[in-house]
Structure formats: C-alpha cells, structure tokens
Amino acid sequence: MPLDAAVLDPPVDRLSLQPMIAPSRTALLVIDAQVDFIGPDGALGQAGVDLSPVAPVLPRIEALIAAARGAGVAVVFVRVVTRPETDSEALKLLMQRKGYPPEAAAICRAGTTGVDYYGVAPQAGDLEIQKTLFSSFSGTTLDSALRERGIDTLVVAGFTTDCCIDCTVRDAFHLNFSVFVVQDGCAAYNEDLHYGALNGLVKNCALLAETQSVIACWSLVA
C-alpha cells in the first residue's frame, strides 16, 4: 500500500508550536535548493528524473524565508559544492558497487551552474554553509555557527526528504538540537520516499510542522 500523509503523526498545531520556535533561539535551514537537484536544466532533470514533486514546494520555502526574515529568525542556506578531490571514497565505492559510472558522483561541481541556488537565494545577513555530502553538519561549521548565535532549535525545509533532510535532521538531534521538519516544505522525487522519511524522523528524532503554521507563528512577532 502506498504511503501518504495519513501514516504520519500529526503536525504540531500552531498554538503549541509558537513557543517552541521562538525567533531568538530558532534557525530556518533551507537545504539544497540547487539547480542540479531541482532545476530542469540540472543534472537530475537532464537525467530524466521526474521533478514534479518538488515544484509546489519552492513557493512555500520562499514564504517561510520571508516570514523568518520578517521575524528576525536566522536563515541558513545549505548547499552541496563538490570537487573531485573532495569526493568521498565511501561514496565512490558505493556508486561503483551499485554499477553506476564514475561520473555519477560528479554532482553540484564547483564552477558549474548546477551548484547555483534555484528558486531562492540568500541575502545579506543570512548564513551560508557548504557541504560535500548529505548531512549539513558533516565536515562543516554549521554546529558552531548556530551555537554562537544562541540557536538550539531548527526548522528544516528543502530537498530531498529521504536524503539530505533525513541525514541533517538525525545529526541535529544527536547534537542536541530540537528539530521541526516542515512536511509540506520539503520533498523527495517519489512520494513514498517522502512520507517514509518523514515517518521515520517523526518516530525518532523530530516533530512535524506545516508551512502555514510556521508562518503564522513568526508573523505574530514580525
């Protein structure tokens, strides 16, 4: 039976959510909104991946960003930037064992348009983090940057739910952050993967929220 939203624990209601995501202690993480992942001219679009599940999510992320900025919530843009010398040996071996060609690891290469933001972009005052693998915390300064700003709570949106969202949220939880995943502010290329990932996260290390509830909370303090 296909998975859908009905299998999930319900998102936190707006009244309960408001004190949990107070602007002074919260950051909005926007993960991997990049050409190679969600743009029709990017690597996955050119490879024939169905991008239709991601299209409705971008306007919601834009609205979340606007609400965060208006309320003084820290906005963090995380993106993948790779080079041949930074490719993980484990990733290359995994690709090889799956029968993929060596170039399968060559995504979001520095100096290509595939690495660019798509649909949204940072502004002055936003924090930018570059990573080479899936988790936004692996090999980056994200943890220390958040601690310096007094942040202990994350609201997470972006792409993809089953990969970089999943890995980031699990690492954040293990680093002692409270995490809220915006269930309609992220997407996978397959709905079963999207809902399956959300289900695993909410069972173990995160709570779910909805775009309009988050915006309503932050609008009250804007």
Catalytic choice (32, 36, 162, 166): 32
SS3 121: coil
Tokens matching residue 192: 């079963």
Q: Is the dihedral of CA 121, 125, 131, 134 positive or negative?
A: negative
**Starting from the edge strand earliest in sequence, which strands make up the sheet with 153-159, in order?**
127-131, 74-80, 26-31, 153-159, 178-187, 207-209
Active site residue 186: no
87 catalytic per annotation: no
Active-site residue (options: 36, 131, 166, 205): 131
Reference 157, options 221, 68, 219, 72; nearest CA is 68
Instruction: Give the C-alpha separation, 169 to 127, whole Å.
Output: 18
Beta-carbon count within 10 A of 103 CB: 9
- Catalytic residue list contains 32: yes
Work out whether the CA dihedral 46, 50, 56, 62 comes out positive or negative. Answer: negative
Catalytic-labelled residue, pool 36, 108, 163, 164: 164
Q: Which residues are catalytic?
A: 32, 131, 164
